[in-house]
Amino acid sequence: MIETFLLLLIVLPLISGVLSLILPRGWRGVCAVAASLANFLFAVYLFKKESIFVLPWAGFGIDFSLRLNHFSGFIILAASFFGLLISLYSLNFLKGKDSQRQFYTYLLISISFVNGAVLANNLVVLLFFWEALLLTQYGMIAIGGRQAFKTATKALIISGAADLCMMAGVILTGYLAKTLIISDISLSLNPLGSLAFILLAAGAISKAGSIPFHTWIPDAAEAAPLPFMAFFPAAIEKLLGIYFLARITLDIFKLNTNSMLSSLLMIIGALTILIAVMMALIQKDYKKLLSYHAISQVGYMILGIGTCLPAGIIGGIFHMINHALYKCGLFLTGGSVEKQTGTTDLAKLGGLSSSMPVTFICFLITAASISGVWPFNGFFSKELIYDAALERGKVFYLAAILGSFFTAASFLKLGHTAFLGKAGQKYKEAPVLMLIPMVILALTCVIFGVFNRLPINNFIQPILGAGAHGHDFSGMPDNFMLVIVTIIVLLAAFLHHFIAVRINGGAIKAAEHIHRAPVLSIIYLWAEKKYFDPYEMGIKLIDKIAKIFWRIDRGIDWVYGSLVTNLTFALSRTIHKIQAGYYIIYVIWSLAGAFLVILFVLR
Amino acid sequence: MAALFILVPFILLLILNLPFKFLKAPVAFWLSAALFLTQPLLVLIHPWFAWSNYPAALSRFLIFKLWLDPLALIMLFTIGIVVFVSLLVAKSTITTERRSFNFINLLLVSFIGMNATVLAADIFSLYVFVEITAVAVFVLMAIEKNRFAIEGTFKYLVLSMFASIFILTSIAFFILAAGEISFAGIHNAFLVNSNIILLNFAVALFLCGLFIKCGVVPFHGWVPDAYSEAQSAVSVLLAGIATKITGVYVLMRLFSSVFVLKDSFHNLIMLIGIISIVFAALAAFRQNNIKRMLSYSSISQVGYIVLAIGCATPLAILGAVLHFFNHAIFKSLLFVNAASLEKKFGSTDMSIITGLGNQLPVTSGTWLVGLLSTAGIPPLSGFWSKLIIIIALFNAQRFTYGWIALLASVLTLAYFLFMERNVFFIKTEAAPGDKGGVPFSLKFCEILLAAITIGVGLGFPFILNSQIFQLKGFLH
């Protein structure tokens, strides 16, 4: 019974995805919503159940094996929840657009692949579904319009490169462990093992969108259709990436606090937080600003898991689900604004709070969550991460708390510019079908905050099992100093915002003094010229290398094309001259030949 | 029974050339299309052992022995599909009746040559059939009477001649050293270990010849010209199957199950393979013509197969066989796409047809399937064969090769996506030289090949286990 449902999780969305490509216009949305609803119900049914399902597949140790346990059940549940909300939202958002049909197909097939990747108990099966997501990612970005193809290509190459790291990691892990079955693998962190860990982790954090694999996300925010942003980079990519990171640190490799790799993860996390939030601060587009935060928040999760302390891991995973909730919600508010006003350029927006009150309230709740305001969900997960980071080193704590300051500052700027201030034009509130997913997400943010015992005890703590040492991580943090510091930082961000608005003249310019600061202005300039983008730099480098190889190739071509043919012609000319029709020459040739033959025989 | 694969096309060829009025291009087309399509279907229906016991009466027609195993069956399957596609492409690109008839005749000759190459059980008939195939292909290429096509043919001809000299000399040495030309006899000669120096010398000569036939770097000079200057239908035949059978298949057959080699030979083959992969991938970046770019990509993909053959573990050979099949399918697909573009716009130069691809939904869709499969993205067929090759390299402790092969995949992805963007997605103001729509036969080929690519990708594990090809059985 359970096995059937496990297979249905993969097969049903796949079939309905193909179906929605064929169905007539009116039925596509219905098909998509029904399929994602069924998917959600299956996930609810399977949650808290355990099962292993094996089907003989390719041989050579590559079997189609799925494993349902608490962790994978939880991720499936979360992913299907977002899938359902996004398909509901897209009903109205993409109404009448040509891209709707393709979007639903890609959405449903993505759901199927995500389910497959999460449930996979064989590294090759995992890789298969994981990499197959590249296809739907490419398709979903590419339907955004003409400019989107460039971004889709960029995303495909960056993610493709990271997935190749992962492929190398999978092969290396399989080689070291002599098996590909994930639940049987337990490796030590010797040099080769560390390399395998780094490769797998590179795949995981790139899926989550961390530095240095992040540069396509802000581009996609401008180009891709909004539901893609709310679904892929905001929700399921984080779920998948952090899920796999947690699996490799907890199960496959058993990282501990003494490991260099733990510090490496924490450094990547801290850098991601700071660099991305600094970029977010100066953005002047609703969606682009959100996309930088989608990168920055990953830093917290990687930092949390990288600490290798129970509080950090639980905080990291809790932050993952919280982030998916509020960032998905934030993108959806952005979508409502885009749908109703036709723009997401902050310079053109203002005073929307009166005309779009529900959207505004949803924005307020989700923005407060991401900034870590008590009693919303972001506060509790961030406090857990702060706690663990402080134990591992003051630097990491400082980076995290600084990140919070800038996060709060940039959301004050965003909210102030878009929703407050003087209203330019009168707009209508978004349609009900678009409001429902936003309201559900905002409500869940509140519930996960106020009743944080519910998600932590039911979803997250069992993942750690005995590793939690019976400690309960829900409720207010143990260390009350942390709370006080957080409150001070948030107040400072508030104060900073109002002083900055007064000085710089206007809410949209609230971060101008940072943008124009002596050293930072140069760095920002370089960042805008994409000097820090490994993709753009790589393209230039490859172009140069290719030029050199092309020259060599021409050389070889010359050898064959000119040298060999000319030599042949020259030879044939010479022979032609010799064959001039004089018998005496032929006779001499024959005699010389005969002489050689005799010489050879007598030798 | 296996003799039928050679005899039936031969009889058809004879019948087509009887002096009857009604034996014109249309009849020839339908008869040969049916024949080409029957071959893969027969292979699918009957497992390999059904073919190996054949009545003695049939074998009397042939002076050479046949050898049929799962590897040969896969090759026969691939040959049938690609030649069929080439025929369909020719139908819509070759217009005059006379030329079309000639084309079909030559196609049949090369078909017989390739089938016989696959089935040959001794090294000399192998050589003869390789040459028959090559000669048929030379003439096919030169049918197109323009300067560049002749130049491409000439380059191929000259280098192929060198290859023939090498191979023929090497066969002489084999006869000298082993006293036999059958695969089994030569294999025994290696095991007995007498005359080993002479044998190694013969292998080295044979290898030189095969490298030219495969078109791997640095023996690849003829490939881009030959593939890109020939007319579309010949490009499909040449890039999809002809050079692969005459070069790569022979390498695969001889170096995996006939010759017993020193390690230095394996290293040499792997080195040549990896150089081809990287070099051709980088050279592909700077090509402006789609067909030239595809030619370089072909060199690079052959590099993967050669690399796997050099690695020589069972898993690696399996990867090589699968990549051979996948590459034949998706490279034919891409060349058919190029043919569609050429048919529609009269050119495959990227600067001329930039941004026009999206006028052709079927072509651009299947194109994407083909190139993502080349780059090894799941769930398409190319993913599996590349993955198996790389896993095999790692398991054989060839880490450096494994890493380079992995990294080169990114290059493949990159150059293809640049081409994709140039051809299909950039908006252009220039008015296209529209030469009418894409004929149905081309669209049919595109859809057929794309369906095989996707189907093999999704159902791959089951194919590996299927009774028909018995790939696992072949390994032991």
What HEC string does chain B produce?
A: CCCHHHHHHHHHHHHHCCCCCCCCHHHHHHHHHHHHHHHHHHHHHCCCHHHHCCCHHHHCCCCCCECCCHHHHHHHHHHHHHHHHHHHHHHHHCCCHHHHHHHHHHHHHHHHHHHHHHHECEHHHHHHHHHHHHHHHHHHHHHCCCHHHHHHHHHHHHHHHHHHHHHHHHHHHHHHHHCCCEHHHHHHHHHHCCCHHHHHHHHHHHHHHHHHHHCCCCCCCCHHHHHHHCCHHHHHHHHHHHHHHHHHHHHHHHHHHHCCCCHHHHHHHHHHHHHHHHHHHHHHCCCCEHHHHHHHHHHHHHHHHHHHHHHCCHHHHHHHHHHHHHHHHHHHHHHHHHHHHHHHHCCCEHHHHCCCHHHCHHHHHHHHHHHHHHHCCCCCHHHHHHHHHHHHHHHCCCHHHHHHHHHHHHHHHHHHHHHHHHHHHCCCCCCCCCCCCCCHHHHHHHHHHHHHHHHHHHHHHHHHHCCCCCHHHHHC
Residue with tokens 């008839």: B101
Per-residue pLDDT of chain B (476 residues; tens, 9 = 90+): 677 888 899 999 999 888 887 778 888 899 999 999 999 888 887 766 666 665 556 666 666 778 788 888 889 999 999 999 999 999 888 888 888 888 999 999 999 999 999 988 889 999 999 999 999 999 998 887 777 788 888 888 888 888 899 999 999 988 888 888 888 888 888 888 777 888 888 888 898 889 888 888 778 878 888 888 888 899 999 998 999 999 999 999 888 888 888 888 888 899 999 999 988 888 887 777 888 889 999 999 999 999 999 988 888 888 899 899 999 999 999 999 888 888 877 777 776 666 555 667 778 778 888 888 988 887 788 888 898 898 889 888 888 998 899 888 877 877 777 776 666 655 554 445 555 677 888 889 999 999 999 888 877 777 766 655 555 555 54
Q: Do the chains contact at B421 and A150, CB–CB below 8 Å? A: yes
Chain A closest CA to B342's CA: distance in Å? 23
Q: Chain A contact for B459, CB < 8 A?
A: no
Of all residues in chain A, the one with the smallest CA distance to B463 is A58
pLDDT of B58 reads 63
Q: Give the span between the Cα atoms of A149 and A156, in whole angstroms.
A: 10
Question: What interface predicted TM-score (ipTM) does this complex get?
Answer: 0.71
Q: Do the chains contact at A167 and B390, CB–CB below 8 Å? A: yes
Q: Do the chains contact at A561 and B421, CB–CB below 8 Å? A: no
CB-nearest partner of B390 from A171, A539, A546: A171
Residues of chain A contacting residue B391, judged by C-beta atoms under 8 Å apart: 171, 174
- CA nearest neighbour of A293 among A304, A307, A303, A278: A278
Q: Do the chains contact at B286 and A547, CB–CB below 8 Å? A: yes
DSSP-assigned beta bridge partners for residue A59: A62
CB-nearest partner of A546 from B282, B383, B402: B282
Q: Check if the beta carbon of residue A176 is closer than 8 Å to that of residue A187.
A: yes
Count other C-beta atoms under 10 Å from residue A256's C-beta: 12
Q: Chain B contact for A590, CB < 8 A?
A: no
CB-nearest partner of A128 from B379, B410, B465: B379
Chain A closest CA to B3's CA: distance in Å? 32
Mutate to test the interface with A, among B212, B285, B297 (most CBs of A within 10 A): B285
CB-nearest partner of B410 from A160, A546, A560: A160
B 190-249 residues with CB < 8 A to A: 217-218, 220-222, 224-225
B 268-297 residues with CB < 8 A to A: 279, 282-283, 285-286
Residues of chain A contacting residue B375, judged by C-beta atoms under 8 Å apart: 160
Q: Chain B contact for A164, CB < 8 A?
A: yes
Chain A closest CA to B66's CA: distance in Å? 31
Q: Do the chains contact at B378 and A128, CB–CB below 8 Å? A: yes
Q: Chain A contact for B414, CB < 8 A?
A: yes
pLDDT of B46 reads 72
Count other C-beta atoms under 10 Å from residue B444's C-beta: 15
The residue ranking higher by pLDDT, B354 or A490, is A490
Predicted confidence (pLDDT) per residue in A411-443, tens digit:
998 988 888 877 777 788 888 888 999 999 999
CB-nearest partner of A171 from B375, B391, B421: B391
Chain A closest CA to B371's CA: distance in Å? 12
When the pLDDT of each residue in chain A is averaged and rounded to a whole number, the result is 85
Residue with tokens 């929703």: A419
pLDDT of A456 reads 83
Q: Chain B contact for A537, CB < 8 A?
A: no
pLDDT of B476 reads 45
Which range of A344-358, A545-559, A570-584 scores highest in mean pLDDT? It is A344-358
Q: Chain B contact for A153, CB < 8 A?
A: yes
Q: Chain A contact for B24, CB < 8 A?
A: no
Q: Chain B contact for A289, CB < 8 A?
A: no
Q: Chain B contact for A584, CB < 8 A?
A: no
Chain B closest CA to A146's CA: distance in Å? 7
A 547-576 residues with CB < 8 A to B: 547, 549-550, 552-553, 556-557, 559-561, 564-565, 568
Helix (H) or strand (E) holding A547: helix A534-558
Q: Give the span between the Cα atoms of A539 and B234, in whole angstroms.
A: 34
Mutate to test the interface with B, among A98, A199, A549 (most CBs of B within 10 A): A549
pLDDT of B475 reads 52
pLDDT of A303 reads 92
Q: Chain A contact for B409, CB < 8 A?
A: yes
Of all residues in chain B, the one with the smallest CA distance to A132 is B378
pLDDT of A330 reads 92
Asked if the model's pLDDT at residue A486 lies above 60, the reply is: yes
CB-nearest partner of A157 from B286, B379, B413: B413
CB-nearest partner of B218 from A134, A547, A556: A556
pLDDT of A480 reads 81
Of all residues in chain B, the one with the smallest CA distance to A14 is B458
Q: Check if the beta carbon of residue B319 is closer than 8 Å to that of residue B392.
A: yes
Q: Do the chains contact at B224 and A557, CB–CB below 8 Å? A: yes
Query: Which range (A46-55, A134-143, B39-48) has the least confidence?
Result: B39-48
Predicted confidence (pLDDT) per residue in A386-401, tens digit:
988 988 888 999 999 9
Of all residues in chain A, the one with the smallest CA distance to B414 is A157
Asked if the model's pLDDT at residue A233 lies above 90, the reply is: no
B 317-356 residues with CB < 8 A to A: none
